[in-house]
Each structure stands twice: as C-alpha cells, then as structure tokens.
Structure 1
Amino acid sequence: MKLVSEIRTLRHLAGWSAVVLALMLAPALASAGGPEFQQEQPQPSDQDAQEFTKTIKKEFPINATGTVNLINKYGKVDVKTWDKNRTKIDVTIVVKAKSESAAQDIFDRIRVDFTNDDNFVKAETLISSKQTSWWNWGDSKSEYQINYEVFMPQSGSLDLSNKYGDTTVEPITGKANVDVKYGNFRLESIGGDLSIELGYGNGTVVKARNVTADVSYSKLNLNDVQDVNFTTKYSKLFVDKGASLKAESRYDQFNLAKVDRFNCQSRYGNVEVGEAESVIAVSRYTDYRINKLRDNGDFDLEYGGLRVENLSKGFSGVNLNGKYSDFKIHVEDGASYSLDAATKYAGIGYPASLNVTYEKERGDSHEVKGHAGASGARSVIKANLDYGGLKVNQ
C-alpha cells in the first residue's frame, strides 16, 4: 500500500509539473517569430470532412471619393473597381467539417459587421471564441476561410487590413492604407498616398506616387514609384523605378534598378543600385554596390564597403568617410576631377594619370591631393578613412 501511495503522489506531481511547464513556455512560444498566436486559428480538417458554404451579400451607396474600410482574417480579399457610386461586398465563408452541425457551429461563431454613411462603408470580420478553458485551443476538426469580393468606385479610397490571407486591389485614384500580415498582396495602381504595413509576406505595387512602407520579415516589390519612405527589418526590397527613396533599415537587402535619389540609414545589410543620381548613406556593417552613379554621393560607413562601377564624368562630388571599410571608385573615362584623400592605417590607390600636387606619408598616415584632366574641375572626390582602404581608378 505504501508503494501504491508513492506512485500516486509521483503521478500527481508529474501532472502539476506539466501544467507549470506549459505556463512557462506559453509566452516564449507566442513570440517565437512564427505567426502570432490566435485562439481561433482554423485547424486542418480530417480526410472525411465535407465542404459547407455560407454567403453574405451587401450593397451600399457611397460618394465617388468615399472610403471603403475592410478588416478580415483567414481568407482572401479581392477588391475590384467600377464606375458606380456604390460599394458591393460579397463574403463567402467556406467551412470544412465532418457534419453540417459541426459546420453550423463554425458559421455561428463568424459574423461580418457592416457600417456605412454617404462617405464611408466598413465591413469587419469578427470571430467569437468557442473555448471556455485556457487549454482548449481551437476546433481541431474543422477549418474555414472567409473570402471577400468587393466592388468600389475607382475614384475612392481604401483602408484594408487582412491577416492570414492574400489580397489583390485593382487601380484606384484615391489613397490607400494596406495592412497585411502572414499573407501576400498585389496593388495595381494607387493614385493618392499609399501606406503599407507588411509582415511575414510578399507584396507587389505596380504603380504608386507617395509611399510609406513598414516592412518586416517580408519581400516587397515596387515597380514604378515616386517618393518612398521605408522602415524595414529582415526583409528584401526591390524597386524597378523610383524618384526619391529614404530608408531606415536593419538586416535588409535592397535591390534598386533605377532611382534618382536614395538616402539610407542602415545596420547589417546589403544594397545594390543599378543607376542613381544621388546616394547618401550612413551605415554600419553594410555593403554598397552601385553600377552607375551620375552626380553625387555621401557615404559614412563603418565595417562595410562601397564599390562604384561607373562614376559619370561631370559628377559634382563624392564624399567618403569610413572606419574599417573599403572604397573602390571607377571614374568614367574622360572625366576631369580632383582628389583629396587622407587616411590612417589605410592605403590610397589612384590612377597613374593623376597629376599629384601633394602627397605625404608619415607613420600610419597617408595624404594625397591631385587632379585628373583639366585643373579646377567642379568634380571632387574627398575621402577621410581610418583603417580599410581607398582605390580610385579611371
């Protein structure tokens, strides 16, 4: 009897240990970098599940420049435009369950709230929790999708949030706010200001003017844009054509095909530019490669590097400040420019054709001044480096 009592005691303690361990691990699991924890997250269905569908249809009048607000999760949002001063919203809820009664339980938990006035239409997906206990985390025998098909005036504005689903938007001339988490989106054309929040997904903007983009753990493609302000981390950013771009970046990769101006503050990244008129960078642990720099650059780098394949003749100036960084600049043939470089614990390489007017090496310091081509040209390369190196060729 004593042995049986001890076994029961050990089992009781083991049970409480499992509970305590689960409580300790729950916060860590919720923040482990995957999709945020949702108690209503739909779960995979069994092989013998059936598909049940419920459709909600609403249509509202709205002014041509009114705003449509859509808030959804666990499904697709497809926004189309038409030439009517009306907004049409069709919501299709698809449930896979073992029985009609099980599907109805899911339907009863999902509702879509609608709000409207002359200038505003809103549709929001709301999902009530079935659970009554903290350890019951979802319906393990059913899965569901909530899909929106929306028609709105092309001249209207859009405010959209979608989690765990993909989003497509046809061209609109108004402004747009788009918040997508754990899904992908494609925006064809936004005529007004565009605000993007993208997390754990892929996004494409075909055409836009003024863009503000907050991107994390994602990939964003901008095909044709004007002004862009990036706040990014752990992401890949691609721009085919842009006018003025600014970025605050952490652990990112930028690929810019053709831009006018790029201003970047970054840590731990990689930047590749096909062609730019102007690049300004304050970066740590970041490498820059620019195929063609047309006019000017200002680089303050630590533990990074810069390689310019072609610095166009007639450029205004390039200013280089570096610590533990290497700089390689190839100046276009026929360019006239002056060089003014000073380094400590760093070498200076320059073309044999450079007319050196001053050079001094003393201890670990090296200074070089001179010009290539015509004297007094407006183009200047100025460098001040500690550790690393500078190589200018032509």
Structure 2
Amino acid sequence: MKNVIGMVAGLCFLVSQGYAQSDIVISNTTTTSYSAYQNEDGPMRSKTFSKSFSADQSDKIVLSNVYGSIQVKIWDKKEVQVDVDIKSYSNSEQEAQKLLDEVSIEASKSGDQIAFRTNMDQEQKNWGSGKSFGGKKWRREIRVNYVVNMPAANALTLSQKYGSVTMADLSGALYAKVQYGNFNAQNLINTNNYVSVQYGDCNIQSVNNAVIKQQYGKAVTIGTVNTIDLNAQYAGVKITTIKGNATIKQQYGSGVSIGSVENLNLNAQYANINIGTIKGNANIDQQYNNLTIGSVGKVNLKSQYTSVSIAALNGDGNFDMQYNKLSVDEISAACKALLVDGQYVSISLGFNNNYNANLDVHTSYAAFKYTDQVTARLLNDTKDYSSTKDYTGKIGNGGGANVKVKSSYGSVTIR
C-alpha cells in the first residue's frame, strides 16, 4: 500500500511541476522505485529522476548537487538531459524511505538559464556510518548521482558538495566549485575557466586559460595549460607545461613541480619548488624550504630561509636573500646585469667561460673566494682584520656586463 501511495505522490509531483512554456521541455519524466533491499549495512531505498530541455548555444547550464557526484558528458544534440539516481541508506526501511522522501530535484528553464538543483530537507543532519558504543552498526546516508548530457559549447556553472565531479571535453565557459570531493576534467578549451576545490584533488588533462583555487587535498595536477592563476593552500601542485604566463601562490602542501613555463610570478611559503625551465621572466618571492630551477631567463628573486639552486641563468638577475644559500651553476653572456644581496647566505656563482663583466663585491663578516677567471683588488687600505671589505675587478676581460655582490654574515664564491 505504501508503494502505491508513493507512486501516486510521485505522479502528483510531476503534475505540480508542469510548465506553461511546454515548448522548451523535451521530456519531463520522474520515475520512482522503492526497494526493501537488505545488505550488511542496512536497508536501501531508491528513486530516479530524468529531465531534458532544449538548449541554444547562448543558454547557460547551472547544476547544484550535494552528497553524490556529477558526471558531465558531451553529445551533439541541442538539448540538456540530466538523469539522477538517488539512493538512501539507514537502519530501517521506514527511516530509509523518510530520507529518500526528503530529497527532490528542482529543474527549470528561465530565460537563457537551465538549472538543476538538489534540495534536501536534512542536509545538515548526522550523516555517515559506523558503530555505536554498544557495537551496533548504523548507517545514515544519501547518494545523489547526476549524469549530465549537454552540448560542448554551452557555458556551465556547477556546485558539488560532498562528492566528486567528472567532466568530458568542454568548449563553453566553466565555473566549478567542489567541496569535499575531487574534480576531474579532460580538455577545457574556453578562455574562461574557474575551478575551486576544497578538501579534494584537482586533475585536468589540458586547459586554455584558468583561475584555480585549491584548499587542502593531495594535489592540483594539470597536463598542459595556456595561462593560469593558481592559489593553492595545503596541497601540492604538479603542472607539466605552461605555454604562457603563470601566477602561482603556494602555501604549505607538498610543493610545486612545473616542467616548463613562459613567464612566472610565484609566491611560496613553506613549500619546495621545482621548475624545469622558465623561458622568459620570473618574479619569485619565497619563504622557507627549497627552490630548484633548471634554467631561467630574467629573474627577480626575494627569499627568506630558502635554499636556492639554479642550473642556468640566461638573463639579468636580481637576488635579495636572507639566510640559507644561493647556487647558480652557469651564468651565460645574456646576463648583462647581476645584483646579489645576501644576509646570512652562502653565495656561489658560476660564470660561462666566455663571460665578461665588471665586478664589485662588498662583504661584511663574509669571506670572498674566486678562481683565476676573476681578477679583483681591495679598494681601500683596510686591514685584514676589518669586518667590512670592498673589492673591484672583472670577470674574464671585463666590460659588457655588470656584476655586484653584497654579503653580510655569509660567504661569496665566484667561479
């Protein structure tokens, strides 16, 4: 009898959700099925929802879901279809049915917006499963899983709380917010993409231009990106290729790993940074941990308590450092101006054999060592025991470039 009442109630719901604009609705079907299925975790009840709307290219699609997942698929039809599978779990069939009845899907088309939203009366109640103090198993869960079929070119806004999002290729603009779940996407082609992930992972195969915010979770992993503005907290960052400009802020987490990037603005705290190639310019501000760069063009770096290691510097350099060390293996002739200011920093600079520059070194409580590629003399008649010394000289034949090094409570080695 309860099943009959439930089916009648479902039909009444359909009638009440009818639309005056019937021409925009391709299908409007909600099917409900009930089950007294018993497993080791208790009874389960379920129902399904399906609805479609015609969609012009200018229409915007909005999805809002909790406790489940959103899977976005792409098709060639000029319509949006959403199929939802809803399941409830509890210790009794009555409670499972009550949970199921409190979940509904609201679907509408108004103007250029097509929206699907999960409504739940008890969203903030005690969910989960486990054992009570007496050892009795309990379970109280809802699963609302969306499967969305849509055209690739439509703009998409989605929100998923307590669940994950999986996306196929999308050429429309994207705004995605995921909390307590993962975001997984293939190719995001549009120039306007915003992704926010909290307490989950973000995985994108390729993206054109993107703004990404990641808080907590294992990592942001991206294959290829054109330009990116990324803010990551308590999560790692791994990007294979950045074709254009990148602005990255990283706090804590497992660090940042970038294969190659054109131009980089980086602000990092308490994270290890590893970058293969910076083809153009780099502006870096880092506090604590390590910075490792394979090769870089022009660099402007400010750091505190950071170990900095650069294999090749192929442009001008400006280093303002406090504590730890700086090591540059090879500085090429493309570097015409190099300024290093270090406090409590061990400085080691290696120059290409064909490098020629004028050299000025100022030390305070710091040692100065150099190889036969360098000629230097003390500017003043300061006694050897003086804590402050100024040197002038040249690297190679001198001229062509200017190198200035200032060190307090550290050391300077030029080779």
The residue that corresponds to 1:368 in the other structure is 391
Root-mean-square deviation (CA, aligned residues, Å) is: 2.8
Q: Distance in 2 between matches of 1:215 and 1:224?
A: 18
Structure 2 CA distance for partners of 1:60 and 1:215, relative to 1, 3 Å = farther
The residue that corresponds to 1:220 in the other structure is 237
1:304 aligned counterpart, secondary structure: strand
Among 152, 160, 184, the residue aligned to 2:201: 184
Q: Distance in 1 between matches of 2:117 and 2:291?
A: 39
How far residue 158 of structure 1 moved from its aligned partner, in angstroms, is 1.0
How far residue 282 of structure 1 moved from its aligned partner, in angstroms, is 1.5
Q: Which of structure 1's runs of 4+ aligned residues deviate more than 6 A?
A: none
Q: Distance in 2 between matches of 1:251 and 1:119?
A: 45
Consecutive unaligned residues of structure 2, counting only runs of 5 or more, are: 1-38, 130-138, 153-169
The residue that corresponds to 2:17 in the other structure is none
Query: Aligned pair count?
Result: 343
Q: Distance in 1 between matches of 2:374 and 2:51?
A: 74
Instruction: Give TM-score, length-normalised by structure 1.
Output: 0.77
Alpha-carbon contact 2:45-2:100 (below 8 Å) kept? no
The residue that corresponds to 2:251 in the other structure is 233
Determine whether 1:128 maps to 2:87: no
Structure 2 CA distance for partners of 1:102 and 1:346, relative to 1, 3 Å = same
Q: Distance in 2 between matches of 1:187 and 1:195?
A: 13
The residue that corresponds to 1:59 in the other structure is 52
Q: Distance in 2 between matches of 1:72 and 1:65?
A: 23
How far residue 72 of structure 1 moved from its aligned partner, in angstroms, is 4.0
The residue that corresponds to 1:20 in the other structure is none
1:217-296 equivalences under 5 Å are: 217-225=234-242, 226-235=244-253, 236-260=255-279, 261-296=281-316
Consecutive unaligned residues of structure 1, counting only runs of 5 or more, are: 1-45
How far residue 263 of structure 1 moved from its aligned partner, in angstroms, is 1.2
1:252 aligned counterpart, secondary structure: coil
How far residue 367 of structure 1 moved from its aligned partner, in angstroms, is 1.8
The residue that corresponds to 1:157 in the other structure is 173
Among 223, 226, 230, the residue aligned to 1:209: 226
Instruction: Give TM-score, length-normalised by structure 2.
Output: 0.73
Q: Distance in 2 between matches of 1:105 and 1:391?
A: 75
Paired AA for residue 387 in structure 1: Y
* Greater CA drift, 157-166 or 252-261: 252-261
1:165-210 CA distance string (max 9 Å, x none)? 222222132121111111112222222x311111112222222222
* Greater CA drift, 220-229 or 358-367: 358-367
Structure 2 CA distance for partners of 1:293 and 1:254, relative to 1, 3 Å = same
Alpha-carbon contact 1:109-1:127 (below 8 Å) kept? yes
Q: Distance in 2 between matches of 1:130 and 1:335?
A: 67
Alpha-carbon contact 1:314-1:336 (below 8 Å) kept? no
How far residue 118 of structure 1 moved from its aligned partner, in angstroms, is 6.3
The residue that corresponds to 1:171 in the other structure is 187
1:1-394 equivalences under 5 Å are: 47-49=40-42, 52-64=45-57, 67-114=60-107, 116=109, 119-129=112-122, 137-138=126-127, 140=129, 141-152=139-150, 153=152, 154-174=170-190, 175-191=192-208, 193-201=209-217, 202-225=219-242, 226-235=244-253, 236-260=255-279, 261-360=281-380, 361-362=382-383, 363-378=386-401, 380-393=402-415
Structure 2 CA distance for partners of 1:115 and 1:242, relative to 1, 3 Å = farther
Structure 2 CA distance for partners of 1:273 and 1:353, relative to 1, 3 Å = closer
2:188 aligned counterpart, secondary structure: coil
* Greater CA drift, 81-90 or 232-241: 81-90
Paired AA for residue 230 in structure 1: I
* Greater CA drift, 176-185 or 64-73: 64-73
Q: Distance in 2 between matches of 1:119 and 1:241?
A: 40
Structure 2 CA distance for partners of 1:107 and 1:306, relative to 1, 3 Å = farther
Paired AA for residue 72 in structure 2: V
- Percent identity, aligned pairs only? 23
Structure 2 CA distance for partners of 1:124 and 1:307, relative to 1, 3 Å = farther
How far residue 111 of structure 1 moved from its aligned partner, in angstroms, is 4.0
2:95 aligned counterpart, secondary structure: helix
Alpha-carbon contact 1:76-1:167 (below 8 Å) kept? no
Q: Distance in 2 between matches of 1:217 and 1:106?
A: 35
* Greater CA drift, 120-129 or 280-289: 120-129
Alpha-carbon contact 1:79-1:169 (below 8 Å) kept? no
How far residue 100 of structure 1 moved from its aligned partner, in angstroms, is 4.2
Q: Distance in 2 between matches of 1:388 and 1:298?
A: 18
Structure 2 CA distance for partners of 1:190 and 1:374, relative to 1, 3 Å = same
1:105 aligned counterpart, secondary structure: helix
The one of the two structures with greater contact order (alpha-carbon pairs below 8 A, sep at least 6) is 1
How far residue 387 of structure 1 moved from its aligned partner, in angstroms, is 1.4
